[in-house]
Amino acid sequence: MAIYAISDLHLPFGIYKPMDVFGKVWENYTEKLFYNWNQIVSDDDTVILPGDLCWATYLEQALADFKFLESLKGKKIIGKGNHDYFFTTIKKMNEFLSQNDLKSVSILYNNYFLVEDQLICGSRGWDILGKTEEDEKLLDREAIRLELSITAALKKHPDKEICVFLHYPPDYNTTLTKTNKIMGILEKYNVKNCYYGHLHAKGINQAFIGNHNSVNFSLISADYLEFTPKKIM
């Protein structure tokens, strides 16, 4: 049994929006994803998807995208991204999954999961480069969500290793010398591995991939991974 990760699927089955603005790599991307995923993921594996699942504005519009996700092998844990407008309360999300017999999908939102001895924690995060007062408020809120996820996990499993999954990058390769709330939490709780998405095309050049202050950072945007889930354990 293994754990995989991939973000930013931007599924188009409920609401269509072309992704070719991000390059030719997005041509026939759902076919690539379906083939690559089912080649390597087994039904006993778990795949973490931290955000930007699809283009739906409302949860009902996302049903076709969730059914596509259900057709893929393995268990899936999804978090919230900046384009996931359909995301609502954890109660309503779980009701939606139950009502539509989406048995392989779980929601990471103000909670955590224990998978193969790993504590799966996370939040959406926010753009640390945001300059407005609203950006600061959102970053504060997401930092609180992340800390709640981590502390809830450690309360019950103090000896387990934490893996954090964010949608937004917790830092950029040009800003590592500066402090921010998300990075502070990762360091405070001795997080060893952090996975994030959000970056596409030229934006990938901004990604920090590697070790900083004892945290290993990995970019898992779908196009960066060539639509193949990354094995992380």
Mean pLDDT over 78-99 rounds to: 97
Q: All domains of the chain, ordered by start, with CATH?
A: 3-231 (3.60.21.10)
Residue 184 CA neighbour count, 13 Å, CB half: 10
Name the DSSP letter for residue 127.
Answer: -
- Residue 70, pLDDT score: 98
The 10s digit of each residue's pLDDT in 16-67 is 998 888 888 999 999 999 999 999 999 999 999 999 999 999 999 999 999 9
The 10s digit of each residue's pLDDT in 169-224 is 999 988 776 678 999 999 999 999 999 999 999 999 999 999 998 999 999 999 99
